[in-house]
Amino acid sequence: MINIDRTSKNLLRDVVGDITTSIGEENDKVAVVNADLMGTCRMRSFNKKFPDRCFNVGIAEQQMVSFAAGLAHEGFIPFAFTMAPFISMRACESVRDDVAYANANVRLMGTYAGVSGGISGATHWSVEDVGIMTSIPNITVIEISDPTEADQLLRQSLDQNGPFYFRYGIIPVPSIYKKNYHFEIGRAEVLNKGNDGAFIVSGVTVPYAIEASNRIEEKTGRHIMVIDMHTIKPIDRDAVMLAAETGNIVCAEDHNIYGGLGSQVAMVLAEEGLAVHFKNIGVPDRFVAMAHAPYLYHEFGYDAEGLEAAMMSMISEDK
């Protein structure tokens, strides 16, 4: 059983900013392109150290992505930073035509993922981005949940050629993994083990799923697996099939219930002919009033309390 230390608070955009600067120190081919959000995306440190490799194109996300594609064609490894709704929707055509079609070696970095933007409202939420990015060929889609995961997966991406999309929120998150934990792009992490049910989660829902799993074990003695599916595309099919062996799967994501992680998992289950009890929890398919992110997580049912209730209602049917 993994215990989450909620006293540890990490802002992933700070973490990612520091990692990018560190990578830039190690590799002079790493460049940053930004769309007038240097502070929001925590790129000021990189800009101060490497002004000749940091480009602010202004509020022009399409041009930012196309500019990054051009840098990639010249041998650079550009990181294009902006808010997730802007890079996935406003710049979608540039992502598809200039980056993905050419299989350009670009890192598309989307902060403000999900409803983490809270009271900024629907214009600054990104609950469609996974559906958009997974539908575009050649793009690897990753959602990070803690600092160690962010550090390793960002660095590993440099060893592969082609476009990546990284999404992450802006609210504080706890540390989950020890610094020496080993990750692999495309391989899910099995955190809590169990044979009574499984949570398949990513990003902000990972610590909530761990808490829900621990609560269920303490209250009932039932063991619920927790799978961190950080790589949403290509999805780890073996991990999905492992979860299916429990007979009960709850997927949870900070994304619309259509087109995201839950849809990817359901597709694997259907293609493999696996019959399980299945629930997909995420942002409902409607526009909702703005509120702080933790309130919305609770309202939509993918905080620890909501995930515990969803799994309990499912495994109680097994008795």
Q: Would you list the DSSP string of the chain? A: -----TT--B-HHHHHHHHHHHHHHH-TTEEEEESS-TTTTT-HHHHHH-GGGEEE--S-HHHHHHHHHHHHHTT-EEEEEEEHHIIIIITHHHIIIIIITTT---EEEEES-BTTTGGG-GGG-BSSHHHHHHTSTT-EEEE--SHHHHHHHHHHHTTS-S-EEEE--SS-B---S-TT---BTTB-EE-S--SSEEEEE-TTHHHHHHHHHHHHHHHH---EEEEE--EEES--HHHHHHHHTTSEEEEEEEEESSSSHHHHHHHHHHHTT---EEEEEEE-SS------HHHHHHHHT-SHHHHHHHHHHHHGGG-
Instruction: Give the integer Cα–Cα distance in Å for 108 and 93.
Output: 14
Provide the token pair at 25: 């120190």
CB atoms within 10 A of CB 142: 27
93 is catalytic: no
Cα–Cα distance, 118 to 290 (Å, whole number) = 6
Question: Closest Cα partner for 212 from 251, 245, 268, 172?
Answer: 251
Annotated catalytic residue within 25, 26, 61, 253: 61
| Residues annotated as catalytic (active site), given as ranges | 61
